[in-house]
Amino acid sequence: MWVDIEAPAAAELLDVGELLAIPAGLRPREDGPSRTLRREQGWIRLPIVTVQAPGPGSPVERAVERVTIDLLAGENVVVTLHDEPSDVIRTLADQLRDEPGIGALDAAALLAALVDGMLAMYLRHTEAIERRIDDLDEIAIRGSAGDAYLGEVVVLRRRVAGLRRALTPHRETFGPLARPDFEIAALGRPWPGLMGRLETTIAAVETAQGLLVGSVELRQSSAAQRANDVMKRLTILNAVLLPSVVLAGAMGMNFQVPFFENADNFWWVVAAMAVLAAGTLLVARLRNWL
């Protein structure tokens, strides 16, 4: 039996505890769950923090929304308590609604499905962030939308940090489940590989964080490369004009030379400037400076 209660009132919490004979030490209270797994008399209380499904399009269109779900499980009974609607609960309920073998599920299988759904939501957020980082890499290479790029990087960084802060405390929550001495007769050992899946999800979030840092470094490298290209062009322009400047300066010196008595020599000076400029460009081309 699966009992799901959204935004429970104090009276509902009391009724659920009495009707299902939940041990007094594990009964839900108004102050909410802690992050510590507890067990007593064949029951366990497992608090998890899940995230809502990412919004459509760019992940920056919707902030990461977290929902705490208090899981209580006994023999063939699972109770889920949460103050807000949860996409994990809704998705699992939709999957089980038309499942022909739903009556064969036990509490352990349902708990495993809930935890897997929680981790899947984190991975969906991570994939959405990684897709947006790919778009940011293209923007970084093109060098466009400078301020907008940095603003979105900050937003994505906060989202990744929020996912990591919500996910990593589950190491402490799920830790006892991996111990060889943890076994409840009514539930057995329903979480094989749970810590491995949790660590894989945490690694995926940390990978997204590394990709975001790499995108920033790519933008910095791209900006530095563009600055180098500009400086190279300016340097070549200076090299092309320098011989002409020197020649013009020499021709403008205040002394008498028979060369200046013929006005047609002006065009020879202009031709010499053009030849020097063309020669400089040719040398730059042959040395692959252009």
47 pLDDT higher than 80? yes
33 pLDDT higher than 60? no
Among 3-12, 78-87, 227-236, which range has the highest average pLDDT? Answer: 78-87
pLDDT at residue 55 in the model: 67
206 pLDDT higher than 60? yes
Segment 218-264, tens digit of pLDDT: 777 777 777 777 887 788 778 788 888 887 877 777 667 676 677 77
If you average pLDDT over residues 276-285, what whole number do you get?
Answer: 81
Instruction: Yes or no: say if 51 and 163 are a contact pair by the CB < 8 Å rule.
Output: yes
pLDDT at residue 203 in the model: 92
Instruction: Yes or no: say if 158 and 236 are a contact pair by the CB < 8 Å rule.
Output: no
Segment 133-170, tens digit of pLDDT: 888 887 777 766 666 777 778 888 888 888 888 888 88
pLDDT at residue 65 in the model: 84
pLDDT at residue 103 in the model: 60
Mean residue pLDDT across the chain = 78
The more confidently predicted of residues 185 and 106 is 106
Instruction: Yes or no: say if 86 and 94 are a contact pair by the CB < 8 Å rule.
Output: no
If you average pLDDT over residues 204-212, what whole number do you get?
Answer: 89
62 pLDDT higher than 70? no
Segment 91-104, tens digit of pLDDT: 888 877 766 656 66
pLDDT at residue 11 in the model: 77
If you average pLDDT over residues 268-281, what whole number do you get?
Answer: 82
pLDDT at residue 204 in the model: 92
pLDDT at residue 32 in the model: 54
Segment 181-200, tens digit of pLDDT: 666 666 655 566 778 888 89
